[in-house]
Structure 1
Amino acid sequence: MAKTIIALMYDFDKTLCEKDMQEYGFIPSIGMEPEDFWDEANKIAHKYNMDKILAYMLLMNKQAKKNDLQITKESLQSLGKDVVFFPGVDTWFERINAYGRSLGLEIEHYIISSGLKEIIEGTSIAHEFKRIYACEFHYNERGNAVWPRQVVNFTTKTQFLFRISKGVLDVLDDVTLNSYMSDEDRRIPYRNMIYLGDGITDVPCMKLVKQYGGQSIALYHGDDMTKVHKLLGENRVNYICNSDYRKGSELEKIVKLILTRMAITNKLAEIEVAQRKGMSTGGDN
């Protein structure tokens, strides 16, 4: 019998790393302070009634040109090496995968981020993910960024939950994505999903995963728990944890407990299905 597949889905900025990915290398390279960059991006969004994610991508291109810099796929990927992860992230995937195997589970990791796919691809952990869903630039024949190719904002993040559940991972395949599929036929039922995020941009995904039987975890860094307490109080997440991925951390303990429960739940579901099939084929009453 095939192993039960569990999907762990992560936001990136302030979930796996301490700040927005653009703040590690790109923003310093254009001579701006992070707060000034994001303030300017928000002003552009409000002035032109523009999606905030599109606004920051536009500003990146504008400021790069202003500073005689070219945004290329390679230049963005090179910024990935500067990203600093929370404690334990570097060994997290190996530990969780091993624990899953001990339970008879196959663990898959996914990124669903409003950040830049190219930067994530350049990080030391990029190889850990089955898919990285994030914003991308389109590049001209000279390799320079000219236009957003993919944009992942607060609400469009949720489409990737459906893709992962159905196993329709190609972002261009909308026909299969929108075709009917029963819960039994889904590659990864929602009950086998865990979503980790840090805040307001993750609320639609957190709420949807929780609502359909999966588990959502809101992460915080430092002592300010106001935001995550609000999410927990509003029943949008199942748990809150510090962004500490080290062995023995509260986050690891909770995720392992969730995986244990998922393994038991799926085993019981298999037994129930087998017994019902036995009845329908004339088995013992």
Structure 2
Amino acid sequence: MEKQLPIVAFLYDFDKTLCTTDMQDYAFIPSLGMTPAEFWAEANGFGRANRIDGILAYMYTMLREAEKKNLPFTRADLVEKGRGIVLFPGVADWFRRINAFGERQGVRVEHYIISSGLREIIEGCGLGSEFKEIYASEFYYDDRGRPVWPKLAVNFTAKTQFVYRINKGVLDVSDDKTLNDSMPDDSKRVPFTNMIYMGDGLSDVPCMKMMRSYGGQAIAVYQGANRVGVEDLLAKGRVDFIFPADYREGTALDATVKNILRKMAISDRLWEENTQQLRAIGGDVLPNQVGLF
């Protein structure tokens, strides 16, 4: 049987990580005749006044404002709104390049989204097929494509659940039993040490902390407006690296990610060699850890 390549998983936030601002700001909010500042003030104020989770509050505000203005609000309409998203330089071909580089190093690269934004809008931006799974807030729709209930709300701390799902290979959000079943470390599909989380700020800290605690890598990207914030994350040891949000080949971000992939690939090979020797003498196999060798 052909040996399976080790998997390296990239986990991305979306807004201000792969695209330049909140995804609703490009097309949806302007369609309401509102500015982003007006919409988010309304959504956040509504959430605070009624003690509603901030993600559920903005989802409800989207529905309410569209209804007040008699605007169409269907799944297809939200997907169409995603076509206006502006990606950072190099993002469009980033996945192809990183996949090919990983293959040359002897690992299989997978990409995942973990976002508080809307899955429907992400699907419309043209990148949907690049991801093994998109974990993002989402509506449940009736047979005419109209939203009738929140299907998934991904707030900042809930993001960590999806890191565990990727780790164990339990990707179905309705499967909580398997997610919580005990599983030996050496049988988990993607070790934490083979994960790279990429985000842009405080909303990503819970996932970044997981990476730092369990041996993965945490990267924060920035534009001019949030540079000070990510520099603070680096100074406080909450991320491993910070870079301008430029994904083009040859940038500092591109070079460091490739070095991380090289390190992970070498660690996997050394772990495999160590495992073979331990099994030959009847010893105990240790979980794969980047810093083990």
Same fold (TM > 0.5)? yes
Aligned residue among 275, 278, 281 for 1:279: 281
SS in 2 for 1:255: helix
**1:27-52 CA distances to partner (integer Å, 9 max, x unpaired)?**
00000000111111110111001111
Q: Which residue of 1 aligns with 2:205?
A: 203
Structure 2 CA distance for aligned equivalents of residues 267 and 44 of structure 1:
53
Structure 2 CA distance for aligned equivalents of residues 267 and 242 of structure 1:
32
Structure 1 CA distance for aligned equivalents of residues 86 and 145 of structure 2:
27
Letter in 1 for 2:180: N
Q: Which residue of 1 aligns with 2:31?
A: 29
TM-score normalised by structure 2 residue count: 0.94
Aligned residue among 56, 61, 66 for 1:64: 66
- State the shift of 1:260 in Å: 0.3
Structure 2 CA distance for aligned equivalents of residues 29 and 152 of structure 1:
24
Structure 1 CA distance for aligned equivalents of residues 183 and 211 of structure 2:
17
Q: After TM superposition, list the pairs within 5 Å mapping 1:93-112 onto structure 2.
A: 93-112=95-114
Aligned: 1:146 with 2:155? no
Q: Which residue of 1 aligns with 2:268?
A: 266
Contact 1:70 1:144 in 2 (8 A): no
Letter in 2 for 1:231: L
- State the shift of 1:226 in Å: 1.1
Aligned: 1:42 with 2:48? no
Structure 2 CA distance for aligned equivalents of residues 126 and 143 of structure 1:
19
Extract unaligned runs of 5+ from structure 1: none
Aligned residue among 4, 7, 23 for 2:6: 4
Aligned residue among 107, 114, 117 for 1:115: 117
Aligned-residue RMSD, C-alpha: 1.0
Q: Which residue of 1 aligns with 2:19?
A: 17
Structure 2 CA distance for aligned equivalents of residues 183 and 267 of structure 1:
17
Q: Which residue of 1 aligns with 2:255?
A: 253
Structure 2 CA distance for aligned equivalents of residues 95 and 143 of structure 1:
36
Q: After TM superposition, list the pairs within 5 Å mapping 1:109-188 onto structure 2.
A: 109-188=111-190
TM-score normalised by structure 1 residue count: 0.97
**1:43-99 CA distances to partner (integer Å, 9 max, x unpaired)?**
011100111111100100000001101311100011111101000001100110010
Aligned residues: 281
Structure 1's consecutive aligned runs of 4 or more residues displaced over 4 angstroms after TM superposition are: none
Letter in 2 for 1:75: D
Identity between Structure 1 and Structure 2 (%): 52
Contact 1:206 1:216 in 2 (8 A): yes
Q: Which residue of 1 aligns with 2:237?
A: 235
- State the shift of 1:151 in Å: 0.5
Structure 2 CA distance for aligned equivalents of residues 120 and 141 of structure 1:
21
Structure 2 CA distance for aligned equivalents of residues 233 and 40 of structure 1:
34
SS in 2 for 1:17: coil
SS in 1 for 2:262: helix
Extract unaligned runs of 5+ from structure 2: 284-293
Letter in 2 for 1:92: W
**1:5-24 CA distances to partner (integer Å, 9 max, x unpaired)?**
00001000000000000001
Structure 2 CA distance for aligned equivalents of residues 192 and 268 of structure 1:
14
